[in-house]
Amino acid sequence: MYTELNSILSSTPDSFTQGEFILVSDRQSDASFLIHHFLSFYLRARCRVCFLGLVQSFSHYNAVSQRLGVSLAQAKEKGQLIFLEGLTESLSFLIPQETSTESQAMDFLRDPTVSLRHLYEFIRTSVSSSGGGGEGGAEEWGPPVLMVDDLSVLLSLGVSTGAVLDFSHYCHATVCSQLQGNMVMLVRCSEEEEVDDGDDEGSERLLRGLTHRCSLTLHVQGLPTGYCRDIHGQVEVCWRRRQGDAQNTQRKLFQYKVNDKGASFFARGTSSAVL
* β-pairing verdict for 142-149 and 47-53: parallel
How far is CA 250 from each of CA 19, 71, 217, 236, 239, rounded to the nearest angstrom? 19, 35, 11, 10, 5
How far apart CA 263 and CA 240 sit, in angstroms, is 24
At 12-62, the pLDDT tens digits run 999 999 999 999 999 988 999 999 999 999 999 999 999 999 999 999 999
In the chain, what is the greatest distance between 2 CA atoms, to the nearest angstrom?
A: 58
How far apart CA 96 and CA 98 sit, in angstroms, is 7
How far apart CA 147 and CA 123 sit, in angstroms, is 10
Measured in Å, how far apart are the chain's first and last C-alpha atoms? 28
More confident of the two residues 103 and 68 = 68
More confident of the two residues 143 and 197 = 143
Determine how many CB atoms are found less than 10 A away from the CB of residue 269: 9
Does pLDDT of 274 surpass 60? no
More confident of the two residues 171 and 195 = 171
Determine how many CB atoms are found less than 10 A away from the CB of residue 188: 24
At 49-99, the pLDDT tens digits run 999 999 999 999 999 999 999 999 999 999 999 999 887 777 666 665 554
Find, among 265, 266, 261, the residue nearest to 40 by Cα.
261
Handedness of CA 214, 216, 219, 224 (dihedral sign): positive
The angle formed by the CA atoms of residues 108, 79 and 47, to the nearest 5 degrees, is 90
Phi first, then psi, for residue 95 (nearest 5°) are -115, 120
Class of the CATH domain delimited by 3-267: alpha beta
| Alpha-carbon 139 to chain mean position | 25
pLDDT tier at 136 (50, 70, 90 boundaries)?
very low
Residue 268: its pLDDT value, please? 62
